Amino acid sequence: MNKYWRSIEELNDSSKLKQEELTNEIANKKALNDPESIETFASTRRDFLKVFGFSVAGAAVVASCKKPVEKAIPYLVRPEEIIPGQCNYYASSYFEENEYCGVLVKVRDGRPIKIEGNEQSSLTKGGTSARVQASVMSLYDLARYKEPLATGEKITWEKVNNEIPQKLEEIAQADGKIVLLTSTVISPTYRQVITELQERFQGLDWIQYDAVSSSGMLEANDRSFGKAAIPTYHFDKAKVIVSFGADFLGTWISPVEFTKQYSSRRNPDLKEQMSRHYQVESMMTLTGSNADERVVIKSSDEGIVLLNLYNEIAKQLGGTTYAVDQSSTDLSFIVRDLLLSKGESLVVCGSNNPDHQVIVNAINSMLGNYGATIDMISTNRVKQGDDRKMSQFVEDLLNGKVDALLAVDVNPVYNYPQGEAIKDAIEKLKLSVAFAKEKQETAEACKYILPLPHYLESWGDTEPTDGKFSLIQPTIHPLFNSRPVQEVFLAWCGKTGNYRDVIKFYWEANVFPKQTDNTEFTSWWNTVLQRGVFDEISVPEEQPIIDVTSLKATTTRIKSVSKTQGDVEVVVYEMNGKGNGAMANNPWSMEMPDSVSKVSWDNFAAISPRKAIELGVDNEDMVALGDLELPVFIQPGQEENTIAVALGFGRSVSGKVAEGAGFNVYPFINVVEGRRMYQAFSTVKKLNKTYPLAMTQTHHSMEGREIVREAVLEEYSRKANAGNESHERHEKHHVTLYDEPEFPAHQWGLAIDLNKCTGCGNCTIACQAENNVAVIGKEQVRNRRIMHWIRIDRYYSENPENPKTYHQPVMCQHCDNAPCENVCPVSATMHSNEGLNQMVYNRCVGTRYCINNCPYKVRRFNWFKYANNEKFDFNVNNDLGKMVLNPDVTVRSRGVVEKCSLCVQRIQEKKLEAKLENRQLNDGEIQPACMQTCPADAIVFGDLKDPESRISKLFEHPRNYHLIEELHTLPSVGYLTKIRNPHKG
């Protein structure tokens, strides 16, 4: 793939830079550089973007039905790297909401349209998360700030750069307090810029603030090791994983990285080496739903459970034990397993309570996991916010001790528990400046609002983990009048020049020396820019020794919580794929059904089935949690007295998409001694109200059908087709009157490893971005009309209080005996000679018989006109949002059926490439969007006609089966049996 990676830096000489500007100008001038025109400029064509090579403006002859004259406007000067109609890929990095991911940006005719994983990244290894996939949409968000504003009025950057430093200067002179509030900064160059700013304005206090913080871990590691940092974890090296409420596959620290590591060990063919995963938690997380064993505890009991676990292990290993209440939860089987795999185990905890984390540190230390599965030397930097500093700042702010605030890409008004008070305080400040990408609560409270560029528009660098560097490069000229915050800060320091040069300068001085292979900086820089990443070769170091005294002080604070503090415990969490609320205005993200509950567009009070009966509530009934009224969702696997509610909803100031979606539960966060705790006690009361929830799946049992086939590892090691015994029988029963279908060259197939799939939903959004899948809004989702081509079915079995969970991605199975094909009267769907089940939108008249006759129900109908329709005011209703559309894929009109095409546009593209290069296709060359970005490597695509291909091997695998194969539909999609690895005995 290397060949396609280009970097703008290749055009380094000045004349070419000029060209670049010119190109961007041409590409963007017409519609985009004038922010007002974006709202008013209306195109008459439903998919005006499906143009190639030149921009086209349709102009219908006034009031007559003549063919509209179309214009073809070529580039004035075509930039060398842009071939109209061809895609370029640029390596870049994603870092938003504390999540890091190395990415490739697919740019078509000058606009980024898709994010892919960067396989060169040693951290994320080509995986992405749903949030990363959705981030490209935020680039084209109408709610973005388009101009610098001062008290609501447009001002120029020149004025900004004059006025603000002046005021800052005044405040600094008067010994006033200036606070720079940012989210975690992982960019080394940015840090340097901030240092310069601090030097320029004496008394400028820099605070990093994370909406969902891991401050507890920083503090615990400070206590244990004297290093306030988050270690790096190696789930791939752990045979036994015990997680206490850490949703490491969904939202915890670095989920893409962890999913890659985790899934690599979820291979049953590793036999005994396959990892075993215990999850001890109070609510059903995505990670918990993937665990081999899941133990349900109260979140308030976590400390006791942890200390008991510590004591058990200490007893066995001869360590110090501490007095503590006996926990009612029996974890002896975990203890046994942990002791059996010393140095190959990993205990993690999601709590923000440093005491808990200290115990976890002690356990890991006893088990010898430091240096093996945990690395405390090379630490993770994605969460650096310090709760106590932040709460001190809030206290100061509320007491009027702060004079000026520079808030960069943070939103405490929304996501800090005392948000309203903070808002009032900010409004009273002498100077308040917000740097923000799009409409948000804090910015609206500030005097100055300075638009930030999207990461796809800006330069940057990152160091998410010590020694792992990566670059962010712009893939489009800024759409709006925004400037990178670093450039603005430098301007305030009296320096001019663009940020790219600053980064280059920094890298030349600080990163370049970290390697020895290259001697010439520019060529090295170009390589790094092409690859996107640079890893410093680390020298192995001795892990720090744990300070045991830290534990002793901690244990005294671990006590049972008395029952008097309320009826129920409320746990607030980040929803997988939705994040902390910064992306709430992203329609893709909002419409993605939550991986566990399968609810989209809202958050809800997740209540255990038993509690629901006790309260007499059902789904969609409302309950009052303290003062907050929330709809109920009955979540199997929830601790009986724990109610979980997701953060990140209920934005009060935002774009149109986020309006009215869900409820803000940040106020539930407790600030205890300056630390934010994500649990609270509350009362619960049934209300006589209902609230509609957009559920995409309402039946949760497999009804005893062999939909997800499973076995346990022990059986599997004895018998290769364990759990999949019926496959052979069904194969034998495949008798047909007709000849087996034959395909001359290729037969495309897809294999899905149910053991690796975590159900994270990244593929859903990747597919949505690749295939222009429409967003339809809450009401229509609730009507069960979601358009996603790949859905993830989630089933529960056994005990509803702690069920076994199954995730199964289902897309068009491309059956060779497809029931849908037979019944279409107009030949809108039939088989290709490459085994694809074809769907021709322009032939479809919409009888929907194919939908009815599809046993997998993967066909989607365009119930309404979803593009250019006021009633569906999402991205394809405005010309800015339409920029994200993939020009290779038709935007479907009302009344036609659509479905997964196995990314036929990618197949065709690669076939053409092979033809042009006069060669055959290579296995693995074609990657559908779902496969390319799967962080778990659960999806494999390939040619079934090629006996050597990976897919052919997988189809021969004894675990392989087809969905409802007894119907003899001969699907081209295979599933690999899920093999669980529960503890023995």
Partner 1 sequence: MYNTEFRGKLIEGNKSLGQISQDIVRPIDAKTPRWWFISMGISLVMLGLGLYAKYITVTEGIGSWGLNNSVGWGWAIINFVWWIGIGHAGTAFSIFLLILRQKWRTSINRAAEAMTVVAVMCAGLFPLLHMGRVWNFFFVLPYPNTRGPLWVNFNSPLFWDFVAITAYLLISASFWYFGMVPDFATIRDTTKSKIKKAVYGFFAFGWTGSSKEWLRYEALAFILGGIAAVLVVSVHSIVSTDFAVSVVPGWHTTIFPPYFVVGAIFSGFAMVLTLVTMIRKLYKMNDFITDSHVDAVTRVLIFVSLIMGTAYFTEVFIAWYSASEYEYYMFFKNRVFGEYAFQFWAMVICNAFIPQLFWWKKIRSNITAVFIISLFINLGMWFERFNIVVTTLAKDFLPAAWAGYSPSYIEILLFIGTLGLFGAGVLMFFRYIPMIAIHEVKSVAKYDKPSHERKHRNHEE
Partner 2 sequence: MGQIRGICRIVHSIILLVLLVDFSVVAAENPVDNDHQTQKKEVIKDGKRLFMGLLPFDRKHESCVSCHHVVAIDTFSWYPSALEIANLYHAKADKDLEKVLMEPMGNKMSEVHQEYQFKEEDVKAIKTYLDSLVVDNGVEPKPSVNNLFLFLFLGILITLSLVDLIFTRRIKYRIIPVIVLLACGGYQAKMLMFEAKALGRSKDYAPDQPIKFSHKVHAGENQIDCKYCHNTVDKSRSAGIPSVNLCLNCHSLVREGSNSGQFEINKIHQAVENGQSVEWIRIHKLPDHAYFNHAQHVGVAKLDCNKCHGEVEKMHVLKQESDMSMGWCVNCHRETHVNMGENKYYSSYKEQHEAYARGDKNAFTADELGSNDCMRCHY
Partner 3 sequence: MKNKYLLGVFGDEEHLLDAFEDLKANSYKIEEVYSPYPIHEILTGMGHKTRMTHAAFALGVVAVLGLLGFMYYAAVISWPLIYGGKPFNAFPSFIVVTLVATILIVTLGTLFFFSARAKIFPGKKAEIIHEGATDDKFVIVFNASDIKDNKDELYRLLKRHGVEDIVEK
Per CB under 8 A, residues contacting partner 3 are 736, 738-739, 741, 815-822, 824, 827, 830-831, 833, 970
Token pair listed for 278: 């215990």
Q: How far is the CB of 463 from partner 1 (least distance, A)?
A: 42
Residue 917 makes CB contacts below 8 A (sequence gap 6+) with none
Cβ-based burial of 152 (10 A; exposed 0-12, middle 13-18, buried ≥19): exposed
State the binding partner of 745 from partner 1, partner 3, partner 2, none, CB within 5 to 8 A by kind. partner 2
CA distances from 60 to 42, 65, 286, 798 (A): 13, 8, 51, 62
User: In degrees rounded to 5, what are phi and psi of residue 479?
Assistant: -75, -30
What DSSP state is assigned to residue 740?
Answer: P
Residue 3 found at the interface with partner 2 (CB under 8 A): no
Q: How far is the C-alpha of 179 from the C-alpha of 404, rounded, in Å?
A: 6
983 binds, among partner 3, partner 1, partner 2, none (CB under 5 to 8 A by kind): none
Class of residue 873 by CB neighbours under 10 A (exposed 0-12, middle 13-18, buried 19+): middle
Q: Does 893 bind partner 1 (CB under 8 A)?
A: yes
Question: For residues 734 and 984, which CB has a smaller minimum distance to partner 1 in the complex?
Answer: 734
Query: Could you tell me if 211 and 583 are in contact, meaning their C-beta atoms sit under 8 angstroms apart?
Result: no
- Least distance (Å) between residue 755 CB and partner 1: 19
Nearer to partner 3, 227 or 831 (CB): 831
Give least dist CB 971 to partner 3, A: 12
User: CB of residue 820 vs partner 3: minimum separation in angstroms?
Assistant: 8
Question: What, of partner 3, partner 1, partner 2, none, does residue 739 touch, CB below 5 to 8 Å by kind?
Answer: partner 3
Counting every residue, how long is the chain? 985
Rounded CA-CA distance 463/300 in Å is 35
- From 72-80, 115-123, 437-445, 552-560, give the range in contact with partner 2 by CB under 8 A: 72-80
**Nearest residue (CB) to partner 1, 685 versus 784:** 784
Tokens 């005996």 identify what position?
817
CA distance 562 to 569: 12
Closest approach of partner 2 to the CB of residue 372, in Å: 47
Could you tell me the smallest distance in angstroms from the CB atom of residue 938 to partner 1?
Answer: 18
- DSSP annotation of 771 reads T
**Binder to partner 2 among 1, 17, 76, 340 (CB under 8 A)?**
76
Q: How far from each other are the two terminal CA atoms of the chain, in whole angstroms?
A: 48
Cβ 861 to partner 1, closest distance in Å? 7
Query: Of 521 and 841, which has the nearer Cβ to partner 2?
Result: 841
**x-or-dash pattern for partner 1, window 678-717, by CB under 8 A?**
-------------------xxxxxxxxx-x----------
* Residue numbers 745-804 binding partner 1 by CB under 8 A: 780, 783-786, 791, 793-795
The packing angle between helices 302-317 and 354-366, to 10°, is 20
832 touches partner 1 by CB under 8 A? no
Relative orientation angle of helices 485-492 and 188-200, to the nearest 10 degrees? 30
- Beta bridge partners, 369, equal none
For the bound state, the minimum distance from the C-beta of residue 847 to partner 1, rounded and expressed in Å, comes to 6
- Three-state DSSP string of 832-850: CCCCCEEECCCCCCCCCHH
Measured N-to-C along each axis, helices 302-317 and 332-340 cross at an angle, to the nearest 10 degrees, of 50
Least separation, in Å, of the C-beta of 325 and partner 1? Answer: 42
What letter would DSSP give residue 5? B
842 lies in the site for partner 2, by CB under 8 A: yes
Beta strand extents in 890-982 (DSSP E only):
897-898, 939-943, 960-961, 973-976, 978-980
Kindly indicate which of the ranges 55-63, 229-237, 388-396, 591-599 contains the residues binding partner 2, using the contact rule CB under 8 A.
Answer: 55-63
* Residues 471 and 532: beta-carbon distance below 8 Å: yes
Task: Tell me the sheet residues that pair with 96.
Answer: 99
- Stretches 67-75, 141-149, 295-303, 863-871: which one binds partner 2 (CB under 8 A)? 67-75
* Residue 908 interacting with partner 2 (CB under 8 A): yes
Query: Which of partner 1, partner 3, partner 2, none binds 859 (CB below 5-8 Å, type-dependent)?
Result: partner 1
**Residue 208 interacting with partner 1 (CB under 8 A):** no
466 to 505: interface string for partner 2, x by CB under 8 A: ----------------------------------------
Number of residues that bind partner 2 (CB under 8 A): 63
Convert 652-681 into a string of H (helix), E (strand) and C (coil): CCCCCCCCCCCCCCHHHCEEECCEEECEEE
Going across the sheet that includes 276-281, the strands are 293-296, 276-281, 240-244, 345-349
- Among positions 897, 904, 939, 951, the unique one binding partner 2 when judged by CB under 8 A: 904
Q: Which stretch binds partner 1 (CB under 8 A): 124-132, 280-288, 295-303, 844-852?
A: 844-852
Strand partners, 680: 570
The CB-of-703 to partner 1 minimum distance in angstroms stands at 5
Establish if 77 lies at the interface with partner 2 (CB under 8 A): yes
Angle at 740 between CA 737 and CA 746, to 5 degrees: 160
Instruction: Specify the 3-state DSSP secondary structure of 753.
Output: strand
Q: Would you say the C-alpha torsion 123, 129, 131, 132 has a positive or negative sign?
A: positive
The region of 44-52, 351-359, 585-593, 785-793 touching partner 2 under the rule CB under 8 A is 44-52
Q: How far is the CB of 171 from partner 1 (least distance, A)?
A: 57
How far is the C-alpha of 119 from the C-alpha of 96, rounded, in Å? 19
Cβ neighbours around 732 below 10 Å, total: 8
The span from the CA of 117 to the CA of 129, in Å, is 9
One residue of 1, 17, 83, 553 binding partner 2 per CB under 8 A: 83
Task: Answer with the entry of partner 1, partner 3, partner 2, none that 888 interacts with (C-beta below 5 to 8 A by kind).
Answer: partner 2
CB 424 within 8 A of CB 238: no
- Report what 47 binds from partner 3, partner 1, partner 2, none; CB cut-off 5-8 Å by kind: partner 2
For residues 862 and 774, the answer to whether their CB atoms sit within 8 Å is yes
Q: How far is the CB of 851 from partner 1 (least distance, A)?
A: 4
Binding partner of 71, given partner 1, partner 2, partner 3, none, CB within 5-8 angstroms per partner class = partner 2
The distance of closest approach from Cβ of residue 743 to partner 3 in the complex, given in angstroms and rounded to an integer, is: 10
Is residue 739 near partner 1 by the rule CB under 8 A? no
User: For residue 264, which amino acid is it?
Assistant: S
864 binds partner 1 (CB under 8 A): yes
Residue 780: name its binding partner from partner 1, partner 3, partner 2, none (Cβ under 5 to 8 Å by kind). partner 1
Q: Torsions phi, psi of 929, nearest 5?
A: -55, -40
- Contact between 477 and 459 under an 8 Å Cβ cutoff? The reply is no
- Supply the DSSP string of 610-657, one letter for each residue: HHHHHHT--TTEEEEETTEEEEEEE-TT--TTEEEEESS---SS--TT
Q: Which does 522 bind (CB under 5 to 8 A by kind): partner 1, partner 3, partner 2, none?
A: none
Which of 30, 84, 964, 982: binder of partner 1 (CB under 8 A)? 964
Pick from 546, 592, 896, 926 the residue near partner 1 by CB under 8 A.
896
Rounded least distance, CB 330 to partner 1, Å: 33
Residues that bind partner 1 (CB under 8 A): 697-705, 707, 780, 783-786, 791, 793-795, 808, 810, 819, 822-827, 830, 843-849, 851-853, 855-857, 859-865, 893-897, 963-964, 967, 969
Residues that bind partner 2 (CB under 8 A): 22, 25-26, 45-47, 50, 52-54, 56, 62-67, 69-78, 83-86, 744-746, 830, 832-834, 836, 838-843, 888-891, 901, 904-905, 908, 911-912, 914-916, 918-921, 945
